[in-house]
Amino acid sequence: MEGHYESPQRVKIVYSYLKEKGFAFIKPKIANENDLLLVHEKELIDKVKANTFFDPDTPNLDNIFRYALLACGSAIDAMRLCKKEFTFSLMRPPGHHASKTNVGGFCYFNNIAVSVAKAIKDGNANKVAILDIDAHHGNGTQDIFLGSKEVLYVSIHQAFIYPGTGMESIGNCINYPLPAGTKDKAYIATLSKALDKIKKFEPDMLALSLGFDTFMEDPLTGFMLTSDAYRKIGKIIASLSINTFAVLEGGYSKKMDICVYNFLEGMEGG
């Protein structure tokens, strides 16, 4: 959609950059409706399929059902392959604002939630921790997994912006709202606390809702992370030594390619 922040361009620039740097890519397999039913009500699936949903931020694009299924399928592939090495689904639309029953915030189906639910159902993992480091709270993911014994949801996000949730922790959903203007040092200190909670949970898989709208030049949010911060963030997460995969959420700046590259370098050891 012309003028919408969540555009194909944001993924294209990252893809070209990573390709140039020698990263390997695989084409995603499309998800099926049974995968979606693990976390979404049938009514929502039917509404996206018929393109009859309404949300002011989440446009009724042509063929959106197919694109949303591809993004979900890619997240599932990343989950399945993460036992061998760290994997990253560089796909859009994002997912973490999609709840059991609603689209929202540029999200149609919850890619990370579908892949995590599938990991547990298919025996790829017994306990999964989701770490959501997008600048926005993943209200959809929290809605889906609240009360689950197999899933821990941990989110670091900017307080008082969309969607307005995540101001406190509740049960298995641990939230770290931080003020606008948060810089590298304070962010990474909070990340360390978040990772301590994850270690205590002893998951056998870690799923990252990976947003790059925490970057200082992002047009939508007020965090002030430098591009170097992503290398450190990747390194700290990799030091947990848990089978890890990541799914792209937000990130709307022109330098998203460098931020993603730095993160992947960090995950690979520095």
Active-site positions read 97
Q: For 194, what's the count of Cα atoms within 13 Å in the CB-facing half-sphere? A: 29
- Residue selected from 136, 137, 231, 232 as contacting Zn ion according to rule CB under 5 A: 136
Q: How far apart are CA 230 and CA 15, in angstroms?
A: 17
Contacts of range 258-261, beta carbons closer than 8 Å, 24 or more positions apart = 258/17, 258/227, 259/212, 259/215, 259/227, 259/230, 260/14, 260/17, 260/18, 260/90, 260/212, 260/230, 261/17, 261/18, 261/21
Interface residues for Zn ion in 196-215 (CB under 5 A)?
211, 213
Q: Is 250 in the site for Zn ion (CB under 5 A)?
A: yes
Least Å distance, CB 150 to Zn ion, is: 25
Interface residues for Zn ion in 9-68 (CB under 5 A)?
none
Q: Is 222 in the site for Zn ion (CB under 5 A)?
A: no
Question: CB under 5 A: which stretch of 38-46, 61-69, 195-203, 243-251 binds Zn ion?
Answer: 243-251
Determine the residue with CB nearest Zn ion: 250
CB of 49 or CB of 255, closer to Zn ion = 255
CB of 78 or CB of 133, closer to Zn ion = 133
Q: Is 93 in the site for Zn ion (CB under 5 A)?
A: no
Least Å distance, CB 161 to Zn ion, is: 9
Least Å distance, CB 213 to Zn ion, is: 4
Those residues with Cβ within 8 angstroms of residue 104's Cβ, 6 or more apart along the chain or in another chain: 55, 57, 58, 97, 98, 139, 140, 163
Task: Name the site residues for Zn ion (rule: CB under 5 A).
Answer: 134-136, 211, 213, 250
